[in-house]
Amino acid sequence: MMYKYILCDLDNTILDFKQGEETAIKHVFESEGITFNEDLYARYHDINIGLWRELEAGKVDKRHVLTHRFEAFFKTLNIDVDGAEKEQIFRTHINNSHDLVEGARDFLDYLMAEGYIICSATNGVFYTQMKRMKDAGILDYFSHHFISEEIGFEKPHHQFFKHCIEKLGVTDVSEVLMIGDTYSSDIIGANQFGIDSCYYGSKTVDATYCIAHLDEIKHIL
């Protein structure tokens, strides 16, 4: 299969979101005198993931996710908070997180050297994602930045991928490969649109390809 365009997820595919998120969550917890621990982090994570799944399904909007997740979490501790204030604390710290996933720069160097048109394709806040890419020194690897807040649709929504294809002027979707770590948004979204997909993670899922390490992309592309 000869691909020309690579749609590449960012969080936990290129940028190490998990590490930045943990630091930001610690500051949110501390703002209410709560000591961070893995059990509480897991509780927050479950609430957050549930809300993002609702967003992907079109049941809620992003503003609801970004504020309600903190209100819902602290409510489990019988603490009432202003979700928007907690989101601002979180956003301040996550905006400054830009560590790369292991092997990400070599991965991008390889794709660029091979002549692929690389595009970021991410669910997230536009300013946050652009700042993190710039701070990580990877902004210029991408010819286009497809960020859900600016597009108005989240992966896996059909309109997200339709926007990408139209902006790129693609006439044959067999030339496009979506790479990402989240099955529910990256892989299902691509599959439903008819785009080949590459799942990056430790599981085997219903994707065109599955890789456990980024350097395995050399066996595909």
- Give the residue numbers marked as catalytic: 9
Q: Element (H or E) spanning 41, and its range? A: helix 38-56
**What backbone phi and psi angles, to 5 degrees, belong to 179?**
-120, 130
Beta bridge mates, 145: 120
* H-state helical runs in 1-103: 17-30, 38-56, 62-75, 83-94
How far from the centroid of its chain's Cα atoms is residue 37's Cα? Answer: 24
Query: Which 3 state secondary structure label does DSSP give 98?
Result: coil
